[in-house]
Amino acid sequence: MVTVDNATAAILLSRPVSSHDETLSRLAFSLSRSLAEEGIGDEVFDTLEDVLGDRAQSAPPRRVHRSDDLLLRLGLPLPQRRRQEKATPMLPEEATRISDRFRRATTHLMQVVPHRVAMYPTEELRLLIALRDEQPTPDQAVAHLRRFAFAILTVLDLMGDEA
């Protein structure tokens, strides 16, 4: 730590550092950075990874391939396609824990976003608030949390977070 005498401090404090607008801009940027670092931490990013990575479900096997009709007309067998695995079931306590974490992140994002974007993302935040307020049934918890996670990632992407 450096000590400064009163005379030096008075000289330093009387010097203009920069223009008023530039100072406010720097201050707002620093403040928003510190807010972002406090609220959206590794814990939230790990939870986003858990929800979108491990529990991601493939598309249902109802998808019809164009080539299937042709193969049937020619009398050829249909190709064997990979069987799609279902997502592991989520315990209600785990769904509640993740949902609470996403709700806290949403509240924090609502405070930080105006300071981090050039144009306010009205639709993205409206969706985030709607998902925050939604109360899904236990069988819809995984799908709801995936939508919630994608909405959070969309807002983080708009903010330019490098997470």
pLDDT tens digits for range 65-103: 667 777 677 777 777 765 545 556 678 899 999 999 999
Does residue 32 sit within a domain?
yes
Q: Residue 127: its pLDDT value, please?
A: 93
Does residue 6 sit within a domain?
no
pTM over 0.75: no
CB 35 within 8 A of CB 108: yes
Q: Which of 7-11, 45-49, 76-80, 140-144 is predicted least confidently?
A: 76-80
What is the per-residue pLDDT across 99-158, written as a single tens digit (0 to 9) for each?
999 999 898 888 888 877 888 899 999 999 999 999 988 888 888 999 999 999 888 888
Does residue 1 sit within a domain?
no
pLDDT at 159 over 50: yes
Q: Phi-psi region for residue 45, left (φ > 0), alpha (ψ -120 to 50) or beta?
A: alpha
Q: Residue 8: its pLDDT value, please?
A: 79
Res. 29 pLDDT band, cuts 50 70 90: low
- Helix, strand or coil for residue 27? helix
Does residue 62 sit within a domain?
no
Does residue 74 sit within a domain?
no
CB 155 within 8 A of CB 113: yes
Does residue 35 sit within a domain?
yes
What is the average pLDDT across 50-60? Answer: 59
Does residue 79 sit within a domain?
no
Structural domain total, the chain:
1
Pinpoint the alpha helices (H) of 15-91.
Answer: 20-39, 42-49, 66-73
User: Which residues span the domain enclosing 142?
Assistant: 20-56+84-159
Does residue 65 sit within a domain?
no
Res. 1 pLDDT band, cuts 50 70 90: low
pLDDT at 60 over 80: no
